[in-house]
Amino acid sequence: MTQPVVLIAEELSPATVDALGPDFDIRHCDGTDRAALLAALPAADALLVRSATRVDAEALAAGSSLKVVARAGVGLDNVDVRAATQYGVMVVNAPTSNVVSAAELAVALMLAAARHVSPAHAALRRGEWQRSRFTGIELFEKTLGVVGLGRIGVLVAQRLSAFGMRVIAYDPYVQPGRAAQMGVRLVDLDTLLTQSDFVSVHLPKTPETTGLIGAAELATAKPGMVLVNAARGGIVDESALYAALKEGRLAAAGLDVFDTEPCTDSPLFELDNVVATPHLGASTEEAQEKAGVAVARSVRLALSGELVPDAVNVQGGVIAEVVRPGIGLTEKLGRIFTGLAGEVASTLDVEVRGEITAHDVRVLELAALKGVFADVVEDAVSYVNAPLLAAERGLEVRLVTEDTSPDHRNLVTLRGTLADGSEVSVSGTLVGIAQRERLVEVNGFSVDIEPTAHLAFLRYEDRPGMVGTIGQLLGDAQVNIAGMQVSRERQGGRALVTLSVDSAIPVEVLHEIEVAMGADNVRAVDLEPTA
């Protein structure tokens, strides 16, 4: 079998290649050489880049076999995520790889700005000994304002709390209780600026955050404030910052990011009370290695069709630990649903009930769709292209959640309508400490059986002798029964036999069973891996 091709377009750590392992054909090109990149992309199943390679619609179109683009770092400014989603290409990054490095740099910039490290060093190199000119300020017992209490903001707050600083924060997406657990008081942005001696910015750059701290905000800032931005350029208006520093309303600034990068010519660089670095937040050996290893692992998952937690264009966001065990179960329910339906449904409800709904369960909708289409299309189905496949086939999908589940702690049900108006449903749950998968309902019949690799569902009119008939015919075909359950509406009414067998039942044997039982519906479902 031909190995999937992984194209590495920029220099990555040796640990990245090691993490990919021997299962791939690893190739290299210079991602900054546009012609070379476009020539190499058609053969690639995965593309690994850092920040210099531009992955736009043209590159994605050239990569006709691409399944995943991996950015060994946090920012995705060089990757057109929208276009990738339209092409069905997963985009992954390494969102936690540089958090420690970025937090440490923010602290370093704050200390350097407070103690005039940069101009004092420059003066000493010029042969000037000017101790009195560079009198700084302490961080101890000062107020730190953290703008953005995400992963990096939290790390900065923790580290500077150890300096004896009082910490307040602005973040409209964080609950006050969570902030209080970290010893941080949440305030609005105006309050933060008027009360803080030091401010450190840790927000993503979005239309809402661009220019968030501008002339009006800096005009209300506490006199003598020190401002640090090691997040993204453009969140702080550079012209307004220059004016505030020049006029002495702000004491100093520490900057690692700029509105336009690379930036080598800025009025800010003329000021002695500015310490600046060329976007070095992730530039540590540890961060680079973490990023490469993280995306290598994501590429392995993506190329095997598995869920990738760090995929940025897959619905679901951060997946709670209690949700993860249900992903595999829900994907199996999707495959069983398609096997029972024998066609693509016109509507599909993914119903999730129980305690699990206290968390974000949107990933279960994706898992259901991945299962629904796994045995329908020739191409590999992923968590990115499954919604596209649904849209192309006119399948209307709805996620339904309910926090109560009468019979099970948690329950996932796939319920759909077929073209003729009939309904198909299948339900599953996880039981016990080991979270064992159980199939508990099929088309209204209560069952309790493990969803093993080979299943069969036989619906017929209830009458004596049917179980023996099934056993005889399967025995003659050397198919061993691992589990069997009979469910019925009432005595003499419709009944359902659910079978778990050790090997796939041949089509001709299924037909024999159907005829012998006078069954009105016989379906076999094989859940062996598709990738």
Q: Which of the residues are catalytic?
A: 232, 261, 279
Task: Tell the burial category of 126 from Cβ atoms under 10 Å away from its Cβ (0-12, 13-18, 19+).
Answer: exposed
Contact yes or no for 314/364 (Cβ under 8 A):
no
What is the side-by-side strand order in the sheet with 454-461? 481-488, 494-501, 454-461, 521-526
Three-state SS for 441?
strand
Sign for the pseudo-dihedral over CA of 236, 238, 244, 248? positive
Whether the CA torsion 20, 24, 25, 30 is positive or negative: it is: negative
Q: Supply the angle between the helices 99-114 and 285-303 in degrees, to the nearest 10.
A: 150
Q: Where are the alpha helices (DSSP H) in 182-324?
A: 189-195, 215-219, 238-246, 285-303
Query: Amino acid letter at 255?
Result: L
Q: What are phi and psi for residue 348, nearest 5 degrees? A: -145, 125
Q: Angle of helix 507-517 relative to helix 466-476, nearest 10 degrees?
A: 160
Phi-psi region at 432: left, alpha or beta (left = phi > 0; alpha = psi -120 to 50): left
**DSSP states of 83-101 as a string?**
HHHHTT-EEE--TTTTHHH
In whole angstroms, give the CA distance from residue 416 to residue 260: 51
